[in-house]
Amino acid sequence: MPFITSDGVRTYYEEHGSGEPLVLVAGFGMTISAWSEQLDAFARHFRVILLELRGAGPSEVPEPGYTNKDLAQDVVVLMDSLQLKRAHFGGFSLGGGVGMELAIAHPDRVATLALHSSWDDTDQYPHMVNWINVRRRIIAENDPVVNVGTRIVSFFSPDFINRRQDRVRDYIERAKSNPHPMTPKGIAGHEHALMAQKVRGRLDGIRCPTLITVGSADRSTLPSASRYLRDNIQDSELILIDGAGHCTMFEAASEFTTIYLGFLLKHGGLVSGTGRSGAR
């Protein structure tokens, strides 16, 4: 199993496909399996690198206290270990926060940035603070029924749950088969990183072409938060996925894949500096 060590913490990663490098990072309490619906399509065009966050999956579970800046440095160490000077980066939820810190601190390393169901400052959204705290407690208590049940309610739109019970069952089975469930210490670390997320006032430091997506029915990371990102990140575009909840990559998998892959292909060549910069 491939690992990198960043600041003394071993984190797991996987590689799939070939082409320009695309680093993908999932969200709060999630593993790299979150990208399962997109992996085959992306790997046909890109060298997809899935980084497992500290505290999740086979990665080491360090003491809580790290921030998105630390997680962004893990990405830099990964890129250095793979001898990648530049890469496309996509992050979902917490992964989006990592991507913003990465693009602000290391603008020369990020060819394009994708922020899926993301936001700027956690303390600007009290409903999110409550949701993160409740989810952390539920995951730490390790009740699989309550854990998966609340995840379904918070991740998916009511319409999707009513229409697609087959897909909901698929999601439940995937959650049950996770060989590396989150530990109380692991989810506490993710919670601290989320609570410390603060990029408002620094978004003008993001200079690469940026895609922002969010479900119109997302009750966890509200569409208004994505609109704020769009209004404050130069050279960004926002695509609202109609009717979808928080986890658009699963609920609206085909639409999500088409949107993001189209954006990546449009900006192909930026890793080597031969593509369109998209700068305004």
258: domain range? Answer: 3-266
Q: What is the pLDDT of residues 97-140, one digit of tens each?
A: 999 999 999 999 999 999 999 999 999 999 999 999 999 999 88
Q: What is the mean pLDDT of the segment spanning 31-46? A: 97
Residue 274 pLDDT more than 70?
Answer: no
Does residue 277 fall inside a structural domain?
Answer: no
Angstrom distance (rounded) from CA 261 to CA 43: 10
Strand order in the sheet with 210-215: 3-6, 9-16, 46-51, 20-25, 87-92, 110-116, 210-215, 236-241
Quote the crossing angle between the two packed helices 94-105 and 68-81, to the nearest 10°.
70
Tokens of 33: 């399996």
Residue 145 pLDDT more than 90?
Answer: no
Residue 210's alpha-carbon distances to 6, 55, 239, in angstroms, are 26, 27, 11
Does residue 274 fall inside a structural domain?
Answer: no
Q: What is the pLDDT of residues 64-86, one digit of tens each?
A: 999 999 999 999 999 999 999 99
Q: What is the pLDDT of residues 198-249, one digit of tens each?
A: 999 999 999 999 999 999 999 999 999 999 999 999 999 999 999 999 999 9
Rg (CA), the chain: 17
Residue 258's alpha-carbon distances to 35, 38, 213, 242, in angstroms, are 14, 9, 12, 14
Number of domains within the chain = 1
Place 148 in a pLDDT band, splitting at 50, 70 and 90. Answer: confident
Place 272 in a pLDDT band, splitting at 50, 70 and 90. Answer: confident
Does residue 132 fall inside a structural domain?
Answer: yes
The pLDDT, as a whole number, for residue 119 is: 98
Q: What is the mean pLDDT of the segment spanning 45-57? A: 98
Share of the chain above pLDDT 90, in %: 88
Residue 41 pLDDT more than 90?
Answer: yes
| Contact status, residue 204 vs residue 131, Cβ threshold 8 Å | no
Residue 280 pLDDT more than 60?
Answer: no
Q: What is the pLDDT of residues 171-190, one digit of tens each?
A: 999 988 889 999 999 999 99
Angstrom distance (rounded) from CA 23 to CA 25: 7
Place 17 in a pLDDT band, splitting at 50, 70 and 90. Answer: very high
Residue 277 pLDDT more than 50?
Answer: no
CATH of the domain at 7: 3.40.50.1820
Does residue 91 fall inside a structural domain?
Answer: yes
**Beta-carbon contacts of residue 165 (< 8 Å; ≥ 6 apart):** none
Does residue 278 fall inside a structural domain?
Answer: no
Query: CA angle at residue 114 from 80 to 97, to 5 degrees?
Result: 75
Beta bridge partners of 215: 241
Does residue 273 fall inside a structural domain?
Answer: no
Mean model confidence pLDDT for the chain: 95
Pairing, β 87-92 against β 46-51? unpaired
Residue 278 pLDDT more than 50?
Answer: no
DSSP annotation of 188 reads H
